[in-house]
């Protein structure tokens, strides 16, 4: 036993001299184990905040993404199409590339055509119809302060479009005309026709007579709203119709109003213009009307001042929600790109 103890002591001394140390007893080993375990726990506790930090950072990252997605899904008004959103692209002849299927751009003063494509095509015109509706209403000489009422006959049974003018809504003829031109309210346009002497049939007859009087040979009307695709015209005819409508001060005013608040029942309701360009400081618009039904596509007619000249822009069957507005911007940029000589040169070429 003494020999075994002596051997262990000599071995320990040799190991110490070589730089190795070991626990002197089982108690020391147990203590060392506890220290090691405690250190391990300390290590895990030290790492835990790092994990929480990472998780927190990831949480903020995903929260930011969720917030971005939330913002992107919010309903926003139709954008103002500016120069940067409507890049000007020219074809081989130096003409602007437009996304409307048929169009005419003409100098209202001289009558000269500046741009055109399929200008004689006879197409559905949708709510561009309401310009003729307005002219017939004003030609009729009925009191603009007289109240007229929305009834079941004004509900759109053809396309199923909605309206904020509920049954029984009472507004003056002037207010109905304003909403029909500015916000393209179909029930307002329908009520205006129904309250015409002789009702809707007489009103539609007056629309077609007015069309002949102002020289519209390609134009036919079947209702006052434009919901039916039977209301048709050509871009060339629409230039004449816009020019005729522009002689009515109320049509110019009502069709270019940015917004209007109207008392309907116990609530004030806001109605906005369907053409966002009337709110753009870069445009001087004298008359405006948009239109859309599936058969007609997106349409836009305007009388605007470009290079101090009155220009009529007719854009038919555009293939995107905002492309008719962007096409108008492209036309404006193209005309203004070469300065005042653009209109003069084109007028001389047409002459």
Q: Which of 100, 130, 190, 323 is catalytic?
A: 130
Look up 127 and say whether it is catalytic: yes
Provide the token pair at 297. 């596509």
Provide the token pair at 309. 């000249």
CB atoms within 10 A of CB 32: 12
Quick one: which of 101, 82, 125 has its CA closest to 239? 125
Element containing residue 22 per DSSP (H, E) = none
Q: Which of 100, 119, 163, 184 is catalytic?
A: 184
**85 beta partners:** none
Provide the strand spans (E) within 147-274: 147-149, 170-172, 232-233, 259-264, 267-272
Look up 55 and say whether it is catalytic: no
What does each C-alpha distance from 129 to 71, 253, 275 come to in angstroms? 37, 17, 16
What does each C-alpha distance from 215 to 125, 181, 328 come to in angstroms? 17, 22, 25
Provide the token pair at 80. 């103002």
Antiparallel, parallel or unpaired: β 232-233 and 285-293: unpaired
What distance in Å separates the CA atoms of residue 347 and residue 1, rounded to the nearest whole number?
Answer: 127
CB atoms within 10 A of CB 135: 22
CB 178 within 8 A of CB 260: yes
CB atoms within 10 A of CB 211: 23
| Dihedral of the alpha carbons of 144, 147, 152, 158, in degrees to the nearest 10 | 20
Q: Which of 100, 119, 127, 183 is catalytic?
A: 127
Look up 233 and say whether it is catalytic: no
HSE (side-chain half, CA atoms, 13 Å) at 30: 3
Active site residues: 127, 130, 184
């Amino acid at each position: 036993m003494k020999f075994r103890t002596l051997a262990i002591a000599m071995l320990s001394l040799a190991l110490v001299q070589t730089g190795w140390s070991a626990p002197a007893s089982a108690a020391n080993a147990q203590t060392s184990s506890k220290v090691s375990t405690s250190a391990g726990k300390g290590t895990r506790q030290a790492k835990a905040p790092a994990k929480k930090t990472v998780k927190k950072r990831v949480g903020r990252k995903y929260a930011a993404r969720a917030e971005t997605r939330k913002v992107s899904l919010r309903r926003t008004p139709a954008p103002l199409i500016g120069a940067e959103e409507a890049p000007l692209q020219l074809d081989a002849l130096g003409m602007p590339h437009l996304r409307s299927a048929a169009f005419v751009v003409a100098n209202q003063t001289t009558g000269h055509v500046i741009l055109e494509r399929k200008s004689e095509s006879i197409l559905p015109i949708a709510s561009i119809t309401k310009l003729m509706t307005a002219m017939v209403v004003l030609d009729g000489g009925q009191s603009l302060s007289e109240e007229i009422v929305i009834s079941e006959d004004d509900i759109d049974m053809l396309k199923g479009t909605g309206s904020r003018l509920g049954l029984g809504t009472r507004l003056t003829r002037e207010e109905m005309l304003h909403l029909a031109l500015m916000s393209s309210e179909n029930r307002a346009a329908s009520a205006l026709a129904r309250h015409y002497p002789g009702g809707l049939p007489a009103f539609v007859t007056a629309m077609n007579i007015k069309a002949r009087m102002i020289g519209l040979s390609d134009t036919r009307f079947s209702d006052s709203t434009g919901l039916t695709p039977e209301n048709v015209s050509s871009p060339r005819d629409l230039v004449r119709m816009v020019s005729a409508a522009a002689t009515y001060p109320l049509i110019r005013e009502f069709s270019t109003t940015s917004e209007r608040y109207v008392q309907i029942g116990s609530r004030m309701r806001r109605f906005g213009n369907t053409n966002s360009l009337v709110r753009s400081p870069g445009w001087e618009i004298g008359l405006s009307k948009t239109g859309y039904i599936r058969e007609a596509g997106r349409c836009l007619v305007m009388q605007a001042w470009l290079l101090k000249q009155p220009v009529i822009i007719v854009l038919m069957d555009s293939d995107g929600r905002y492309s008719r507005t962007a096409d108008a911007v492209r036309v404006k940029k193209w005309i203004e790109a070469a300065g005042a000589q653009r209109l003069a040169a084109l007028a001389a070429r047409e002459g």
